[in-house]
Amino acid sequence: MTRWNLPLDHLPSAWYNVLPRLDTPLGPPLHPGTREPVGPDDLALLFPMALIAQEMSPEPWVDIPGEVLDILRLWRPTPLVRATRLEAALGTSARVYYKDESVSPAGSHKPNTAVPQAFYNRQEGVSRLATETGAGQWGTALAFACAQFDLECMVYMVRTSFEAKPYRKTMMEVWGGHVVPSPVEDPTHPGSLGEAITDAVRDAAGRPDTHYALGSVLNHVLLHQTVIGLEARDQFGLAGERLPDVVIAPCGGGSNLGGLALPYYEDTDVRLVAVEPSSCPTLTEGTFEYDFGDTGGMTPLLPMYTLGHDFIPPPIHAGGLRYHGDSPIISQLVRDGRMEAVAYPQGKVFDAAVLFARTEGKVPAPEAAHGIRAAVDEALAAKETGEERVILFNFCGHGHLDLAAYDDYLNGRLLD
């Protein structure tokens, strides 16, 4: 057996909330003007009350609404796969498993939170959502979710990606989304996630029918993603394993990593590993401090590892990992020593991506390939010592719309 599927009725019915279980409670978000803790009313301009409550929820479990479960069931539970052909190519004594989040309609983990976010906004009478997207994954996920709930979807897309990835725009438009390049006010600027967040927040704050949706970083986003780790725990039982020794995922804002890793938070023997690009080394080289989520200084300040809100990362191919900050939850785990962080240059990442594609068959998103690189290195380290290490990583998205990056790699044009 190399693949374990859960029956449809084994989809988790509640999200795992790490907030009340954290050893060190998170500092509150601070108002960008007064620098006082923000209250629910400050956030109500941008988010529905249900999500604001989840952002600060003390409940250890949060029920998933039935309408959300119905949509998640279009592709969930996702498979757990053992990468035996990759193991053989590495000659490792490790057992390597991955959770395949690439099977969603948008091709990544992002619909896991796009769907509940659209649902709660719709429930509170909002008719339009504004958001930003880097590589286009979040924009496609939100456009899909908005189509399910008859919401308008306005996407500000980082200009370099808008120009380099026209098919992502088409995908958003197929689901009825509207897409414009960001920053809207400066057509010569390559853009960044921080800039695009400024555009989207300005849009949402200026229209009573519109809310803002964020695809990562915030506590409620990580909460929604915990279906990944909860399913993986069940599937590990089916696979005859108890717990993984190490859980690995790429980290941009921290949502797919949180989704897979947080349900293992209380299993203190399980190592948790964040993987980031060395060109945007937030966790490995940033400082832990309060910083804005956007470039324009319009969002609340969050306690997190950051490279500074005006940091513009070089245009590496893993667009989803080019964010200056990080989830406060992930940042706190790294600060407390519960989670490790590693950084890789993109050449080594694509070496692992191509090895994975040639053994396991699937072509990873460049973001996902960061996790694969770290999983391969864990498997090689286990080979050195002859250990039976059990490795679990998140295959958080496929790379079918990232083939230009593979073309660069295969033709020697990839810059580290």
Ligand X SMILES: *Cc1c(COP(=O)(O)O)cnc(C)c1O
Q: Site residues for ligand X, window 71-130 (CB under 6 A)?
A: 108, 110
Bridge partner list, 30: 37, 301
Q: Decide if residue 12 touches ligand X (CB under 6 A).
A: no
**Distance in Å, CB of 298 to ligand X, minimum:** 20
Interface mask (CB under 6 A) for ligand X, residues 197-226, using x and -?
Answer: -------------------x----------
Interface mask (CB under 6 A) for ligand X, residues 331-360, using x and -?
Answer: ------------------------------
Q: Site residues for ligand X, window 31-60 (CB under 6 A)?
A: none
User: CA 263, CA 248: separation in Å to the nearest integer?
Assistant: 13
Q: Are the beta carbons of 152 and 386 closer than 8 angstroms?
A: no
**Distance in Å, CB of 250 to ligand X, minimum:** 5
Q: Please say which residue, 146 or 275, places its beta carbon nearer to ligand X.
A: 275
**Distance in Å, CB of 398 to ligand X, minimum:** 8
**Distance in Å, CB of 209 to ligand X, minimum:** 27
Q: Residue ranges of the alpha helices (H) in 206-323?
A: 219-225, 227-238, 255-261, 282-285
Q: Are the beta carbons of 366 and 399 closer than 8 angstroms?
A: yes
Q: Decide if residue 17 touches ligand X (CB under 6 A).
A: no
Q: Please say which residue, 29 or 259, places its beta carbon nearer to ligand X.
A: 259
Q: Please say which residue, 121 or 133, places its beta carbon nearer to ligand X.
A: 133
Q: Decide if residue 254 touches ligand X (CB under 6 A).
A: yes
> In the chain, what's the furthest Cα-to-Cα distance?
61
Please name the residues in contact with 39: beta carbons below 8 A apart, sequence gap of 6 or more: none
Q: State both tokens at 237.
A: 């039982």
* Residue from the set 177, 252, 296, 303 that interacts with ligand X by CB under 6 A: 252
**Distance in Å, CB of 89 to ligand X, minimum:** 23
Q: Decide if residue 396 touches ligand X (CB under 6 A).
A: yes
* Residue from the set 29, 77, 253, 277 that interacts with ligand X by CB under 6 A: 253
Q: Site residues for ligand X, window 138-177 (CB under 6 A)?
A: 138
* Residue from the set 154, 275, 334, 365 that interacts with ligand X by CB under 6 A: 365
* Residue from the set 112, 117, 137, 279 that interacts with ligand X by CB under 6 A: 137
Tokens 């290195």 belong to 377
**Distance in Å, CB of 320 to ligand X, minimum:** 3
Interface mask (CB under 6 A) for ligand X, residues 292-331, using x and -?
Answer: ----------------------------xx----------
Stretch of 37-45, 92-100, 169-177, 363-371 lying at the interface with ligand X (CB under 6 A): 363-371
**Distance in Å, CB of 266 to ligand X, minimum:** 22
Q: State both tokens at 26.
A: 């998170």
Q: State both tokens at 191.
A: 């853009």
User: CA 347, CA 326: separation in Å to the nearest integer?
Assistant: 23
Tokens 């948008």 belong to 106
Q: Are the beta carbons of 354 and 409 closer than 8 angstroms?
A: yes
User: CA 196, CA 203: separation in Å to the nearest integer?
Assistant: 11
Q: Please say which residue, 79 or 397, places its beta carbon nearer to ligand X.
A: 397
Bridge partner list, 84: none
Nearest residue relative to ligand X (C-beta): 397
Q: How far is CA 15 from the centre of its chain?
A: 16
The CA–CA distances, whole Å, from 402 to 78, 137, 236, 345, 406 equal: 22, 11, 31, 17, 7
**Distance in Å, CB of 157 to ligand X, minimum:** 13
**Distance in Å, CB of 225 to ligand X, minimum:** 8
Q: State both tokens at 357.
A: 């594609």
Q: Are the beta carbons of 350 and 329 closer than 8 angstroms?
A: no
Q: What is the DSSP pairing of strand 61-63 with strand 178-182?
A: unpaired
Q: Are the beta carbons of 391 and 378 closer than 8 angstroms?
A: yes
**Distance in Å, CB of 140 to ligand X, minimum:** 9
Size of site (CB under 6 A) for ligand X:
20
Q: State both tokens at 259.
A: 């989704």
**Distance in Å, CB of 216 to ligand X, minimum:** 3
3-state secondary structure of 86: helix
Q: Decide if residue 286 touches ligand X (CB under 6 A).
A: no
User: CA 244, CA 295: separation in Å to the nearest integer?
Assistant: 38
* Residue from the set 139, 250, 286, 303 that interacts with ligand X by CB under 6 A: 250
Site residues, ligand X (CB under 6 A): 108, 110, 137-138, 216, 250-257, 320-321, 365, 367-368, 396-397
